[in-house]
Structure 1
Amino acid sequence: MASLAWLLIPLFAAVGAGIWGSWAARDRTQGDISELAGYARFREAMAHADHTRTKTEAHSGSDAV
């Protein structure tokens, strides 16, 4: 009976490794899509802010940044 217990340890380890492997290999593209969309909005906002700032500096005649 003790030898059976020692054989169950690697079996449980293999099952645990299989569960962990399937969890680690899961498809996580859903999060990437929303992150990329957020980054695109951020870039658009920064481009708009830079364009607005450049316009304001041109009208004020200031050379300071």
Structure 2
Amino acid sequence: EGFYEGGDFEQDTLKEYDPNGKLIRKMFCEKGVCQTVWTPEKGYIERKKIFEQNVPQPE
């Protein structure tokens, strides 16, 4: 269960279920790159920014 943007690119929250319909994982996706943010065993997991720009800071 999820949302697709621009064709095949997953975007926002994606939910994965086992064959019995039990929720087994939630992922957060940006431009088709996903990371797990919740599992039944671990609960919520801190989400890291996927597309973080490294901009040099002036000294």
TM over 0.5: no
TM-score range normalised by the length of the shorter chain: under 0.3
Instruction: Tell me which of the two structures has the higher relative contact order, counting C-alpha pairs closer than 8 angstroms and 6 or more residues apart.
Output: 2
- Name the structure where strand makes up a greater proportion of residues: 2
With normalisation by structure 1, the TM-score equals 0.22
With normalisation by structure 2, the TM-score equals 0.23
Rg larger in structure:
1
